[in-house]
């Protein structure tokens, strides 16, 4: 699924990946996500991670391009727009309640959109050491 992220900057892709993994891990803690397909949760997690990236690092239509790439390059079809927005909102809520919420300074809109215009990340995408603590990818010591 990371191959569908529309960037040639591998450090940026890795940063988005680490944030997406963290968002996805948060879904394990909330019963709300149980009936949803893991692929839908993964797509919502990547979209949320992309929303946390400063617009100067990703193209304006990055999320739409990601959804297209996920479908045609990886073969994963995203859920309906409303279902995807609901998953994104629940992931944002779980993230805001987590102890790692200071790593992404963006906050979701009341109704998340596929555009990342209203979200930004205060830190340089090259600084992977500032990623949230992930169970799958613990910080390097």
Percent of the chain with pLDDT over 90: 45
Q: Roughly how many angstroms between the first and final C-alpha of the chain, as a whole number?
A: 27
pLDDT for the residue 102 = 62
Q: What pLDDT shows up at residue 104?
A: 61
Whole-angstrom Cα distance, residue 140 to residue 49?
A: 21
Mean pLDDT of 70-98: 89
* 7-42 CB burial, b ≥16 within 10 A, e <16: beeeebbbbbbbbbbbbbbbbeeeeebeebeebbbb
Phi, psi values for residue 48, rounded to 5°: -65, -40
Residue 78 burial (CB < 10 Å; 0-12/13-18/19+)?
Answer: buried
Indicate if the pLDDT at residue 89 is higher than 70: yes
Read off the pLDDT band of 130 (50, 70, 90): very low
Mean pLDDT along residues 52-58: 83
For residue 12, what are its two tokens?
A: 């940026």
The per-residue DSSP string of 36-76 comes to S-HHHHHHHHHHHHHHTS-TTTS-TTHHHHHHHHIIIII-P
| The pLDDT of residue 25 is above 50 | yes
Average pLDDT over the chain, rounded to an integer: 77
- Residue 98, Cβ density class (10 Å: 0-12 exposed, 13-18 middle, ≥19 buried): middle
pLDDT of residue 139: 54
Instruction: Kindly indicate the confidence band of residue 119, based on its pLDDT and cuts at 50, 70 and 90.
Output: very low
| pLDDT of 14 | 93
pLDDT at residue 136 greater than cutoff 60:
no
């Amino acid at each position: 699924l990371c191959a569908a992220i529309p960037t040639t900057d591998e450090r940026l892709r890795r940063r988005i990946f680490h944030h997406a993994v963290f968002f996805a891990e948060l879904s394990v803690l909330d019963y709300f996500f149980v009936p949803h397909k893991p692929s839908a949760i993964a797509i919502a997690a990547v979209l949320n991670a992309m929303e946390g990236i400063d617009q100067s690092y990703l193209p304006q239509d990055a999320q739409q391009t990601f959804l297209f790439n996920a479908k045609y390059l990886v073969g994963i079809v995203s859920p309906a727009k409303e279902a995807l927005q609901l998953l994104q909102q629940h992931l944002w809520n779980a993230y805001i309640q987590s102890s790692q919420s200071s790593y992404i300074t963006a906050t979701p809109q009341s109704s998340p959109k596929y555009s990342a215009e209203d979200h930004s990340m205060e830190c340089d995408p090259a600084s992977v050491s500032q990623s949230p603590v992930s169970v799958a990818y613990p910080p390097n010591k």
